[in-house]
């Protein structure tokens, strides 16, 4: 990775919520075609950091660049315009709608007829099928089935398809995508992440599962109490080393 320039840089990011210092001077690099894991204990600042990256929160201080250009994002839609988006929990899917309706929820495709606008259900269905198959290698048995009849892994695929539908997507953030999934569905979701990495996306994965992190990531960014306390190459590290960084065992012993 060292011969490539990072796609994303975050430098000296702080975020204060009133008196709460959620982030204090965090640096992060993310590369195209890489899975960067972010790990850390509850409250370490992981979600806050990626909410700053995805324009949901604005940093108190610090700078973000994309391809070397400074990024200023006033809200999440501006991040999406720049090609940075996040997969929300599958819980955000509406159970009673079919997969295509879920994929286009809030961004429905329409067609005009005699001066009136109609939902283009056929197009949404065919686009949903196409994106699931072409980008994720997923074929649903019944594209008309309500979403609550699908497995957790299939729901996850729809949540991911919703985000990768935007052709200009370059940075994909996933905040604990396997938290609610069983072992088989977790394995399938990790496969989807691999596919997206191969397509050249920078994937940022927040996870509490070090098994998942070591199975899929290229580098691990460890957060503790609002700071980055280490970045390791997954292939050159161990769960013990990362756990030590997460809990700060060596730091606390020295303090």
Site of interaction with Mg ion (CB under 5 A): 47
Question: Rule CB under 6 A: which residues touch ligand ATP?
Answer: 17, 20, 22, 40, 42-48
CA distance 188 to 154: 9
Q: Are 19 and 61 in contact (CB under 8 A)?
A: no
Minimum CB separation of residue 179 from ligand ATP in Å reads 10
Give residues with Cβ within 8 angstroms of 75, minimum separation 6.
55, 56
| Partner touching 59 among ligand ATP, Mg ion, none, CB below 5 to 8 Å by kind | none
| Residue 48 parent element (H or E) | helix 46-53
Q: State which residue has the least CB distance to Mg ion.
A: 47
Query: DSSP labels for 243-255?
Result: HHHHHTHHHHHH-
Minimum CB separation of residue 173 from ligand ATP in Å reads 12
Minimum CB separation of residue 46 from Mg ion in Å reads 5
| Partner touching 42 among Mg ion, ligand ATP, none, CB below 5 to 8 Å by kind | ligand ATP
| Partner touching 82 among ligand ATP, Mg ion, none, CB below 5 to 8 Å by kind | none
| Partner touching 44 among ligand ATP, Mg ion, none, CB below 5 to 8 Å by kind | ligand ATP
Q: Which is nearer to Mg ion, 46 or 135 (CB)?
A: 46
Give residues with Cβ within 8 angstroms of 98, minimum separation 6.
125, 143, 144, 145, 146, 147
CA geometry: angle 205, 77, 8, nearest 5 deg: 45
Q: Strand 202-206 and strand 34-39: pairing?
A: parallel
| Partner touching 242 among ligand ATP, Mg ion, none, CB below 5 to 8 Å by kind | none
Minimum CB separation of residue 215 from ligand ATP in Å reads 19
SS3 label, residue 140: coil
Minimum CB separation of residue 43 from ligand ATP in Å reads 4
């Amino acid at each position: 990775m060292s011969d490539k320039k990072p796609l994303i840089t975050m430098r000296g990011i702080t975020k204060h919520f009133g008196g709460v210092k959620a982030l204090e001077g965090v640096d992060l690099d993310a590369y195209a075609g890489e899975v960067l894991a972010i790990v850390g204990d509850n409250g370490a600042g992981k979600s806050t950091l990626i909410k700053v990256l995805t324009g949901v929160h604005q940093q108190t201080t610090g700078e973000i660049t994309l391809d070397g250009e400074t990024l200023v994002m006033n809200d999440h839609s501006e991040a999406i315009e720049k090609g940075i988006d996040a997969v929300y929990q599958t819980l955000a899917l509406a159970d009673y709608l079919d997969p295509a309706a879920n994929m286009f929820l809030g961004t429905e495709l329409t067609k005009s007829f005699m001066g009136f606008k109609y939902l283009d259900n056929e197009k949404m269905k065919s686009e949903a099928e196409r994106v699931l198959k072409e980008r994720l290698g997923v074929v649903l048995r019944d594209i008309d089935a309500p979403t609550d009849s699908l497995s957790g892994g299939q729901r996850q695929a729809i949540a991911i398809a919703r985000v990768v539908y935007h052709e200009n997507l370059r940075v994909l953030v996933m905040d604990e995508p396997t938290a609610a999934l069983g072992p088989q569905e977790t394995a399938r979701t990790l496969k989807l992440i691999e596919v997206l990495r191969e397509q050249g996306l920078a994937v940022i994965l927040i996870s509490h599962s070090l098994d998942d992190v070591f199975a899929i990531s290229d580098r691990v960014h460890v957060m503790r109490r609002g700071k980055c306390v280490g970045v390791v190459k997954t292939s050159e590290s161990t769960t013990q080393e990362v756990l030590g960084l997460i809990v700060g065992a060596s730091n606390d012993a020295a303090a």
